[in-house]
Amino acid sequence: MKSFQHVISELRLFQGPDCLQRLPRELDRLGCKKAMVFCGASLAGSPQFELLRQSLGGHFAGAFTEVRAHSPRQSVEAGAGAIQQSEADAAIALGGGSAIVTARAASILATEAGKLEDLSTSTGPDGRMHSPKLLAPKIPQIVLPTTPTSACVKAGTAVSDPEQGRRYALFDPKTRAQAIFVHPELLMSAPRALVVSAALDSFSLAIEGLASAVGDPISDALLMHAIRMLATNLMPAASGDDPSTRADLLVGAVLCGRGTDHTGAGVATVLGHAIGAACKTENGLTKAVVLPKAIDFNAEAAVSGLTKVATALGLQTRDSDAPAPAVVGALEALFSELGLPARLRDLDVPRESLAEISERAMEDWFLRGNPRKVREPGELLKIMEDAW
C-alpha cells in the first residue's frame, strides 16, 4: 500500500454569462468592502473593465492598471503601495497570469516586513532550498481570468527582476484565490495567440506534473483530464473564437493547477521560467519548444508517468516500457499543426545566453520534482542546446 496525503483547498468557481452577479455576495461573504482591481492598461479602458466595475458597485475601491508581462518587480512594488494607500481589503485580478501573479505578489509585499529577496525562496550553502513562512494576514484574492492559466488556483508567486535577469519565487497559501469567475465576455477579450500560449503553458505543466517524481491517484485523475481538455481544445482555440472552447481550456487549466499542487514539475517548466526571465519570451511558447527535449531527457526515469500521459493523449504505444517516443511524436505533431516556433532561436533566444540561463535555472524550486535528478547546470544546457 502506497502512503500519501491529498489535502484539497477550497475552490469556489462560478461560470456563465450571469456569474458576476455573485461577485458582490462573495465579497460580502469574505467581509470585504473595498476591492482593488489589478489589470493591464489595455483592459483598463475596455468594456470588460466597465462590466466588472458595474458588477462591483460600491465595493469598487479603484484600479491598479500597471500590470506588466512576467510581473516585474517595479510593477509589483507599485501595486503593493497602491493597496496600502487605498486600504483595500480585497484584490481582484482581471486578466491573465501576469495580473493574477501581480495581485498576489503585491498583497504579500503590502503586508510582510522585508524586501522581496528576504521573502523569496533561496538556496543555502548546502544546496538545499528554503522557502520562508509568510505569516502576516493577506487580503482575499478573487480572479476573473481572460486566459487559461493555472495561476488561477495557485499559491506560488513569481516576480521577475529584468535588471538582474532573474526570477523570485514566493509561496503563501493565504494568497490562493477565494473565488474564480469565468465570464464569456472576459474570456473573449484576449487575442487568440495569447489564449494559445497560456493553454500551452498549462498543457506543458500538466504533462510534467503527471510525469513527475511525486503524485497520487487523485492528482493523476485531475491531470489526465486536464491534458485531454487542453489537447482537445487547443486547435479549435487557435483557429476560432468560441467562448465555450475558451471556457473548456480554462477549466483544463484549473484542473492542471489543482493537480500539480500535489506533484512536482520538471525541466521544461524550470527552463521556461529561466528563459522567460532572461529573454522575455512567452512561457507557453518557450515550454512547447523545450518540452519534447525534456521528455527525452526524462524518458527512462518517467516511464510510469509518461504512460499515463500517452493514455490521456489517446495514444496506442507499441512498447509499454518506452512511451516517450510516442508522446514526443504526438506533441511535435500537435505543435507543428498549431504553427508554433520549433526552436529556441525562433524565439530570439541568443545561444550565448544559454550557459548563464542554465546556472540560474538550478535555483528553481520546481527542479526538485523532475523525475530524473539534475545534478549540474551542464545537463540543462544540453537540453537547451538541443532545442536551440
Are 110 and 170 in contact, with CB atoms under 8 Å apart? Answer: no
Residues 6+ positions from 317 with CB-CB distance below 8 Å = 307, 310, 323, 326
Reduced to 3 states, what is the DSSP secondary structure of residue 141?
strand
pLDDT of residue 319: 61
Dihedral angle sign, alpha carbons of residues 382, 335, 199, 314: negative
Distance CA 92, CA 364 (A): 28
pLDDT for res 189: 97
**CB neighbours of residue 44 within 10 Å:** 16
C-alpha cell at 86: 487605498
Burial zone of 30 (CB within 10 Å; 0-12 exposed, 13-18 middle, 19+ buried) = middle
Residue 4 cell numbers, joined: 500519501
User: Alpha helix locations (H) across 113-216?
Assistant: 116-119, 184-187, 192-211
How far is residue 61's CA from residue 33's CA, in Å, rounded to a whole number? 8
- Nearest-angstrom CA–CA distance, 121 and 118: 8
- What does each of the 388 residues of the chain score in pLDDT, given as a tens digit? 888 889 888 899 999 999 999 999 999 999 999 999 999 999 998 999 999 999 999 999 999 999 999 899 999 999 999 999 999 999 999 999 999 999 999 999 999 988 999 999 887 777 777 889 999 999 999 999 999 999 999 999 999 998 887 889 999 999 999 999 999 999 999 999 999 999 999 999 999 999 998 999 999 999 999 999 999 999 999 999 999 999 999 999 999 999 999 998 999 999 999 999 899 999 999 999 999 999 999 999 999 999 999 999 999 876 667 899 999 999 999 999 999 999 999 999 999 999 999 999 998 888 888 999 999 999 999 999 999 9
Dihedral (C-alpha) 249, 317, 263, 12: value to the nearest 10 degrees?
30
Q: Give pLDDT, residue 284.
A: 96
For residue 24, the model assigns a pLDDT of 97
Q: Which residue has the cell 495557485?
A: 154
- The three cell numbers of residue 110 are 503590502
Residues 147, 28 contacting (CB under 8 angstroms): no
Closest CA to 192 of 236, 140, 149, 223: 236
Strand blocks (E) in the chain: 13-15, 35-38, 60-64, 90-95, 122-123, 129-130, 141-145, 156-161, 166-171, 179-182
